[in-house]
Structure 1
Amino acid sequence: MNRYSILTSVLVGLLTLADLLSTSALGPVKVELHSSATLPCNHMCSGLATWTVIHKQLDILAQCDQSSCQSKEGFHMSHDQYLKGDLSLTITDVDYTKRTLYTCECDSVDLCDVSLQIEAPEFSRLITPGESLILDVPVSEPVELFVNRTGDASLHTVKLCEVRDRIVQCISEYEKRVSLSSSLQLKELTESDSGVYTIRDIRNDEIVSTFRVTVEGKNKDITLAPKKDVKESWLKRNYQGLLTGLASVLVLWGLWCYYPLLIPTCCKRKAQRFSRGHCAVGQTCGPPALEDTPLKTVCEDAGPEG
């Protein structure tokens, strides 16, 4: 009797261990962003098969029984496959919010635990020295930024920054070069900044983005010439025009200054001739007092000079 009990306990323990091993043997499913993913689970289930997120057991994503299947939008279970012992769950559009551990149960008995991950997209960037590198962060914080610089003989990966609660903490040489808005921005790149940059999701311990960055070419930084040089250059370009304009101003100024002086002289001669030709009998002829006679009147009465 005791031997039978011992053998039964051992057999149950082995079956339980085998079941646990079959569950834990399922590796993570990795897919590209916004593609579909199938989480496998091959077990016969005569009762109710359900899929949930492992930390939200009451939130059923999809379920099947002997009569039918029901599922939330974006998730799917096949009833035909269920009847054949294929309890796989299909997620139609994978994004970063769906990265988690899923579990499949049959009548509340755990059958499969499957982790869904997204393959980190890889980007290539060719940057001109002096420009900035924009690094999109596709997940919520906290995240870390690493770099493996090109030409580093040790191939050592260096942690540059960590972002938590919108606060960026970087090593000393990058403190003033890295900023955060909607993306991480690394400013004023030089050729020594070439390398592979990776963004890691700390919470899920997962690389979410990789950037292969090459910094080369002519520096696009523009150093403005001193104001004095700019002024001299402008004078050189407009030298001929300035001389012409200055000469015109001088001519106009001369006319404006000297023309009033010429009018009294002309009128004076006309007034003298006018007085000599129009003296009354018995009067002493002589030039009128010009200072007491308006110039306009004298000049108009004198007539043309001849």
Structure 2
Amino acid sequence: MQSCSSALCVLILLISTLTTGSESAFPPVTVKLHDSITLSCSDRCSGLVRWTVSHKSTDPLAECNQSSCRSVKEGYQMIHDQYLKGDFSLNITDADFTKRGWYTCQCDDKDLCDVKLQIERLNSTVQKKPGESLVLDLDVSDAVKVLYIGTGAANRSSGQICTVDRCSLDCKPEYKERVSAALRLSGMKPSDSGVYTTMATRNEEVFRSYSVTVQDDLPCRDTGEGAAVPAWICVLIAVLVAGIVILAVKIVQLKRENQKLRNRHS
């Protein structure tokens, strides 16, 4: 069980690093894919209150004044009765991955609140037979990269295997002949078992994680003369390691965003 024990050591080292290096940051608002969500903001304003995507301050989503409210873009809504009471919350009716990011609430062009919306990562467990294809969903038009943490008996090195940017597809040499533009990995083998993660290239935000097992009669074996280890144990360890890696990425992101907000409000 030397290979699986090594994975546990990596897991322990990652936990130790994270517990000593984290800092407080503004927590994002998280919602499940396609659920509704409310971005809260309360203050005093007798003029025009509007919500925008932070990097598009001149492109309002919804707004209110003393007489009424209006939804400028479909799927975003403010309530006039709440506005009159100083509650400027923004309701989003269908949160998908295209709606993730920072939102800003303004009163007469003065910033009141900054809220980050993120979509809860989707985790899937997939079982395939040798020769079948694995399809990885692309949820955004942004550049996306695919990470792989292997658990197969003939395990290859883990890491980034492909990058997809609109119609452009760039994969490692051993994947070029097997991957289509729709991220369909054909000819699955037992050595392809592992965790596949789709992640935004720009800010490393994770969209989906697939725990894949390719069925085979051979168990996940030790490289020495030890007893055979069931494949599901190695898959479980790989999932745990992937979760810790993703958590590490999130903490780094929160540090950066916290610093940006500090610089902005200073």
TM range (shorter): 0.5 to 0.7
2:35 corresponds to which residue?
35
Greater share of residues in helix? 1
Give the conservation status (yes or no) of the 8 Å contact 2:50–2:62. yes
Residue in 2 that maps onto 1:117: 118
Residue 100 of structure 1 corresponds to which residue in structure 2?
A: 101
Please state if 1:45 is matched with 2:41. no
CA shift digits 1:57-106 (9 cap, x unpaired):
22222122233222233111122222222211011112232223211111
1:27-176 alignment, distance < 5 Å: 27-72=27-72, 73-150=74-151, 157-176=158-177
3-state SS, counterpart of residue 178 of structure 1:
coil
In the TM superposition, residue 55 of structure 1 has moved relative to its aligned partner by 2.5
Which residue in 1 is equivalent to 2:184? 185
Decide whether the 8 Å contact of 2:141 with 2:165 is kept in 1.
Answer: no
Amino acid at match of 1:32: K
Q: Does structure 1 retain, via aligned residues, the 8 Å contact 2:152–2:192?
A: no
Query: In structure 2, what is the Cα distance between the partners aligned to 1:171 and 1:53?
Result: 35
Gap change, CA 1:141 and 1:57, over 3 Å in 2: closer
What amino acid sits opposite 2:198 in the alignment?
I
Query: Cα 1:57–1:208, aligned 2, differ >3 Å: closer, same or farther?
Result: same
- How far does residue 56 in structure 1 lie from its aligned partner after superposition? 2.3
The secondary structure found in structure 2 opposite 1:57 is: coil
Q: Which amino acid in 2 is paired with 1:120?
A: R
Kept in 1: contact 2:31–2:118 (CA 8 A):
yes
Q: Which residue of 2 aligns with 1:212?
A: 211
Alpha carbons 2:127, 2:212 under 8 Å: kept = yes
> Normalization by structure 1: what TM-score?
0.57
The structural deviation recorded for 1:192 is 1.7
Q: What does 1:257-296 align with in structure 2 at a 5 Å threshold? A: none
CA RMSD after TM alignment:
2.5
Q: Distance in 2 between matches of 1:107 and 1:189?
A: 57
State the secondary structure of the residue aligned to 2:52. strand
The question of whether the paired residues in 2 share the 8 Å contact of 1:201 and 1:208 is answered with yes
Distance 2:132 2:126 in 1: 12
Equivalences, count: 192
| Cα distance in 2 between the residues matched to 1:75 and 1:206 | 23
Query: Residues 90, 178 of structure 1: CA spacing in aligned structure 2 closer, same or farther, 3 A cutoff?
Result: same
Q: Distance in 2 between matches of 1:208 and 1:142?
A: 12
Counterpart in 1 of 2:249? none
Alignment of 1:210-249 (within 5 A): 210-217=209-216
- Structure 1 pair 109–170 and aligned structure 2 pair: CA distance change class (3 A): same
Does the CA-based 8 Å contact 1:74-1:91 persist in structure 2?
yes
**What SS class does the counterpart of residue 209 from structure 1 fall into?**
strand
Q: TM-score, normalised by structure 2?
A: 0.65
- Tell which structure's C-alpha radius of gyration is larger: 1
Q: Quick check: 48-57 or 191-200, which moved more?
A: 48-57
Contact 1:128 1:218 in 2 (8 A): no
Instruction: Give 3-state SS (helix, strand or coil) of 1:58's partner.
Output: coil
Q: Deviations over 1:233-289 (max 9, x none)?
A: xxxxxxxxxxxxxxxxxxxxxxxxxxxxxxxxxxxxxxxxxxxxxxxxxxxxxxxxx
Task: Give the distance between the partners of 1:171 and 1:178, measured in 2 at CA.
Answer: 10
**Contact 2:152/2:190 (8 A) holds in 1:** no
Listed as ranges, the gaps of 5+ residues in structure 1 are 1-23, 220-306
User: Which letter does structure 2 place at the counterpart of 1:59?
Assistant: D
Cα deviation, 1:165-197, whole Å, max 9, x if unaligned, reads: 5232222322222222xx211122221211110
The CA distance in 2 between the partners of 1:39 and 1:157, in whole Å, is 38
Q: 1:218 to 1:167 in 2, by over 3 A?
A: farther
CA contact (8 A) 2:148 2:194 kept: yes
Give the Cα separation in 2 of the matches to 1:164 and 1:83: 45
| Rounded Cα–Cα distance in structure 2 between residues aligned with 1:165 and 1:97 | 14
Per the TM alignment, residue 25 of structure 1 is displaced from its structure 2 partner at its CA by 6.4
**CA distance in 2 between partners of 1:83 and 1:198 (Å):** 45
